[in-house]
Amino acid sequence: MSTYKIAVIPGDGTGPEVATEAVKVLTSAAARFDFKVTLTEFDFGGERYKRTGETLPDSAVEELRQFDSILLGAIGHPDVAPGILEKGILLKARFKLDQYINLRPVKLYPGVDCPLKDKGPEDIDYVVVRENTGDLYTGTGGFTMKGSPHEVAVQSAVYNRFLVDRCLKYAFEYAGKYGKKARGKGKDNTLALCGKTNVLTYIYDLWERAFHEMGDEEYPDIKREYYHVDATCMWMVKNPEWFDVIVTGNMFGDIITDLGAITQGGMGIAAGGNINPQGVSMFEPIGGSAPKYTGKGVINPLAAICSTQMMLETLGENEAAQKVEDSVKFVTGKKLKGMGAGKMGYSTSQVGDMVAELVAD
Ligand code: IPM
Ligand code: MN
């Protein structure tokens, strides 16, 4: 029987509440599908920072490396200035653990209200592969003449061929395995590059050349498309059914996945995985810590639960992952009144219980 060592970082705000429900579902899946999970909790987040001044110490990164997977609730505290916890914990984990893929499915589940006119689950069913370690996120840049009227601020979008190639490789492989043709939902597996080759003529030129070279040489059966990022946003709203797998840089990926999340019912349901295909990955609901709902038992735990589904898939527990997804679909389709905090018709733990029971069945 496989045993997985899981690190749990409940984090801030409603993070602990949703992490509890995610763990409930994970435990239920383990019992039903004959594997074991051992859970180790870490208290990184705003409270610990306020107490000790520590975000994610280097020693903790080394400790996290020893796990099979990491589950993250949410990071962000109203008393801590923006950027400190985000950079100190979330981005540090992504960079230090080299989680170079941020995988964000955009999937509308049955029964979930969609803000797009006349679009349903058949239309909104694609995945964004966001590069997760380069771009504007490297912190390359700085100020000169700070504080003077001529102050200059520069922040560079950084990519090299290595970062681009490893991300594209993941995206092509993903499209081959999970694209619409592979899932019996279309005639092609399609990978779309989202860039801005008309303005960012260096970095997206690099991306585009690498994309076509790799496609021609190694993945001739995968259909290739290209969209500028602004047009991508337009089509994500107007014709989301065009998309299958989208690959893009870190900054564009950040932005378009919030748009994607709202088309799939919002932050209550959107999950993501920070993936190091050769190392330890970290799964999280992509919404924030929602401080105003903290402790009220009203936050939707489904995003966190969906992130465990992604975790199970990455661990190779595909049957369990499928069962979690089917159970979530049943709950959205047949049980919940809405996805928003306080609008579900059930409490946070009741929703977790429902999914956990269905998974155990
Ligand atoms: C996300 C978040 C983070 C990001 C923030 C909190 C640093 O918006 O996971 O999308 O920009 O990557
Ligand atoms: Mn974001």
Mean pLDDT value of segment 15-38: 98
Nearest-angstrom CA–CA distance, 264 and 277:
26
pLDDT over threshold 90, residue 235: yes
Q: In the predicted model, what is the mean pLDDT of residues 264-288?
A: 96
Q: Which residues pair with 282 in a beta bridge?
A: 70, 274
Of 56, 87, 90, which is best to mutate to test ligand 1, by the most ligand atoms within 8 angstroms of its C-beta?
Answer: 90
Ligand 1 atom 7: residue of nearest CA: 86
Best CA proximity match to 213, nearest among 194, 184, 193, 241: 193
Atom of ligand 1 minimally distant from the CA of 91: 7
CA 81 to each of CA 48, 78, 85: distance values in angstroms, whole numbers, following the listed order: 14, 8, 8
Burial class (CB in 10 A: 0-12, 13-18, 19+), 149: exposed
Whether 17 lines ligand 1, by a CB cut-off of 6 Å, is no
**109-147: pLDDT as tens digits:** 999 999 999 999 999 999 999 999 999 999 999 999 999
| Residue whose CA lies nearest to ligand 1 atom number 5 | 86
Which of 310, 289, 303 is CA-nearest to residue 352?
Answer: 303
Instruction: Quote the tokens at residue 234.
Output: 């337009």
φ, ψ of residue 100 in degrees (nearest 5): -85, 0
Domains and CATH numbers, the chain: 1-102+271-361 (3.40.718.10), 114-264 (3.40.718.10)
- Token pair for 41: 């909790």
Is residue 258 packed enough to be buried (19+ CB in 10 Å), middle (13-18) or exposed (0-12)? middle
